[in-house]
């Protein structure tokens, strides 16, 4: 999570520097120093920045190293894992669709994706967009059942695994092994 803070700060820098770009012939002057300070402040070993305007890349650069204690530099071709950030991106995009009236949080998922089917017809019929975004549907958690251990990934993904009903306590593979 801490690696996201300097990236968010850099994104905000890009949003707030529009007026500064008009005053300066070189709008990115000082960016390298800013990135170096942010990396030191947040103890980030490396990052990559790309700025796209319209359909053109106007800035791209790697900073630092790929892994702390190792010499391999971050380049413009270094791949970083998204980890759980895609959940926030998805939720934001769905919220934008809801704000525009295209999607409603409390509509059934099947209104938008009729081919989505769950093992339990009740879940198929009743699951809402909000249920998906708030993790209120998944496999029944170990705490909700009589077992004391979480299922393995293959057990949980089995077609025989019991789904949780919307609104019930459930778990996801990423939460297995953590106590609630």
pTM value is: 0.47
**Mean pLDDT rounded to a whole number for the chain:** 75
For 121-166, the pLDDT digits (tens) are 888 888 999 988 887 776 555 444 444 455 555 554 444 445 555 5
Three-state DSSP class for residue 48: strand
pLDDT average, residue stretch 9-14: 52
Q: Which residue has the tokens 């690696």?
A: 3
Of 85 and 98, the one with more pLDDT: 98
Return the domain boundaries, the chain.
4-64, 85-174
Smallest CA-to-CA distance from 111 within 93, 137, 130 is with 130
Could you give the CA distance from residue 111 to residue 150 in angstroms, rounded to a whole number? 32
Q: For residue 15, count CB atoms less than 10 angstroms from its CB and return exposed for 0-12, middle for 13-18, buried for 19 or more.
A: exposed
Instruction: Tell me the range of 2-16, 32-46, 118-132 where mean pLDDT is highest.
Output: 32-46
Q: Tell me if 70 sits within 8 A of 85, measured CB to CB.
A: no
């Amino acid at each position: 999570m801490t690696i996201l803070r300097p990236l968010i700060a850099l994104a905000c820098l890009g949003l707030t520097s529009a007026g500064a770009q008009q005053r300066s012939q070189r709008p990115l002057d000082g960016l390298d120093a800013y990135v170096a300070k942010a990396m030191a402040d947040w103890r980030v070993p490396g990052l990559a920045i790309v700025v796209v305007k319209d359909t053109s890349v106007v800035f791209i650069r790697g900073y630092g190293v790929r892994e702390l204690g190792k010499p391999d530099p971050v380049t413009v071709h270094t791949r970083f894992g998204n980890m759980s950030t895609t959940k926030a991106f998805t939720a934001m995009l769905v919220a934008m669709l809801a704000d525009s009236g295209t999607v409603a949080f409390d509509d059934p998922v099947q209104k938008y994706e009729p081919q989505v089917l769950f093992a339990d017809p009740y879940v198929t019929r009743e699951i809402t967009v909000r249920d998906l975004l708030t993790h209120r549907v998944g496999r029944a958690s170990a705490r909700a059942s009589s077992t004391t251990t979480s299922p393995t990934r293959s057990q949980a993904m089995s077609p025989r695994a019991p789904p949780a009903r919307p609104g019930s306590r459930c778990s996801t593979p990423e939460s297995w092994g953590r106590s609630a």
